Amino acid sequence: MLRGTAFFAAVVLAMALLAAWPHAASAMGNGTAAPDIAGDSWINSKPLTINGLKGRVVLVEFWTYG
């Protein structure tokens, strides 16, 4: 009985995720320019822009003191 309920819940969750998938992907699709990142200070470089990074692979890591 518990196994059947868990299976049913998994199927319902999968259907909900599939139904929401196109809407989540439409927020920013291919060919859409990324917004510029603003910050107070830059460490080890001058401020970077999206146009200056065009054609490069970029890793962005956000962190804060907590």
Tell me the whole-structure pTM to 2 decimals.
Answer: 0.36
Decide: 50 and 33 in contact? Cβ < 8 Å: yes
Contacts of 37 (CB under 8 A, 6+ apart): 48, 60
Q: Write the pLDDT tens digit of every residue in 6-43.
A: 888 888 888 887 776 665 555 666 777 777 777 777 78
